[in-house]
């Protein structure tokens, strides 16, 4: 009986850990999207690791490497979305078909956004668990034209 407990406990403990990781990552993604919807710069930028990389869907054909590069582009994106308005929310992003894969200390979230007529926007967000919390280490945004 003791031998059975030795083999079963690590498996069930690991399953619980993956389940709690999934819940935690979903909460972080929800908070990240809320910060983006509200264009809350300080909260938004706190979700990223300093060395994160970002592929933007338009206007920036190259990968942004590190905080200085991706923040410069995101600040332009924020200003374009804000368009002179002083109060949010500025967007209402609703992830569709969200899938989360947990691999140790890395989580990969993929989803679609249906927020631009004639296009399906695809997103991949890779998070890594650090000593205190999960941080975005890569964001890939792309879009494909849909049949009208």
52 close to 67: Cβ distance less than 8 angstroms: yes
Note the pTM of the prediction, 2 decimals. 0.85
Closest CA to 141 of 93, 103, 104: 93
Residue 3 has pLDDT above 50, yes or no: no
Predicted confidence at residue 4, as pLDDT, reads: 45
Give phi and psi for 87, each to the nearest 5: -135, 135
E-assigned strand segments in the chain: 48-55, 64-65, 96-103, 106-116, 119-129, 134-145
Average model confidence (pLDDT) across the chain:
89
Task: Parse the chain into domains and list their residue ranges.
Answer: 2-83+91-145
CA–CA gap between residue 45 and residue 70 (Å, rounded): 10
Topology, domain 2-83+91-145: Nuclear Transport Factor 2; Chain: A, (3.10.450)
pLDDT at 11 over 70: no
What integer pLDDT is reported at residue 139 of this predicted model? 98
Residue 146: what pLDDT?
A: 87
pLDDT category at 114 given cuts 50, 70, 90 is confident
Residue 64 has pLDDT above 80, yes or no: yes
The answer to whether 128 and 139 are in contact (CB under 8 A) is no
Q: pLDDT of 13-62, one tens digit each?
A: 455 477 899 999 999 999 999 999 999 999 999 999 999 999 998 878 89
């Amino acid at each position: 009986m003791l031998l059975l407990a030795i083999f079963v406990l690590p498996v069930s403990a690991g399953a619980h850990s993956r389940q709690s990781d999934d819940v935690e990552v979903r909460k972080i993604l929800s908070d990240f999207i809320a910060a983006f919807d509200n264009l809350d710069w300080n909260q938004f930028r706190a979700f990223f690791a300093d060395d994160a990389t970002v592929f933007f869907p338009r206007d920036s054909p190259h990968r942004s490497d590190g905080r200085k590069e991706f923040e410069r582009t995101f600040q332009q994106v924020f200003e374009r979305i804000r368009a002179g308005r002083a109060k949010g929310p500025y967007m209402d992003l609703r992830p569709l078909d969200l899938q989360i894969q947990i691999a140790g200390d890395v989580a990969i979230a993929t989803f679609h956004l249906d927020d631009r007529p004639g296009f399906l926007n695809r997103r991949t967000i890779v998070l890594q668990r650090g000593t205190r919390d999960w941080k975005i280490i890569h964001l890939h945004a792309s879009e494909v034209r849909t049949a009208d």
